[in-house]
Structure 1
């Protein structure tokens, strides 16, 4: 019986940072306007940059653009002044984007 070619081995390194960011976004909705919301901004911005880096490694540049934009909007140093219901909707939509990206970004394993 001839040997069948194996599928390339991949990993999902963005999965955990994406889940952490999604959880922070959803749990941060009740904290909007509170002092603790600054912590949510830090978590989301840092995780967005981590997911963007894994997207670069996976050669999926479109996710890089998305998560650089997320890092800019949620950055804690120069916060974008957004309030109201649109900000809540943005949290839910970006949490969904993180979940999808975490599942779809696959980086090939390198054997050493």
Structure 2
């Protein structure tokens, strides 16, 4: 699943990702290159079935690509460092940004802020 998502622009089935319900404090990194992508304090439950964040670590951490596949108009998000597919961003998120970064767990590695434990999505 990880290769399919990150390298073939795939999508894991909703509500199946290992990091969907993770509530620990820490940082979500790119599974491929370990670049930091999202802080846990920006994660929220959007109800969409994938981990959702309202803001990346920095603008440079994410690359934005127009995606017209499957008859839809979306913005694909990729790792700004290694170009791995992460998911999509939508303009229906909470404040302060109003954005919802909908990310496949399979594209992420979580590092716990307290004990340094790593969990691959």
* Bigger relative CO (Cα 8 Å, ≥ 6 apart): 1
* TM-score of the superposed pair, with normalisation by structure 2: 0.28
Greater share of helix:
1
* Higher Rg of the two aligned structures: 1
Greater share of strand:
2
* TM-score of the superposed pair, with normalisation by structure 1: 0.29
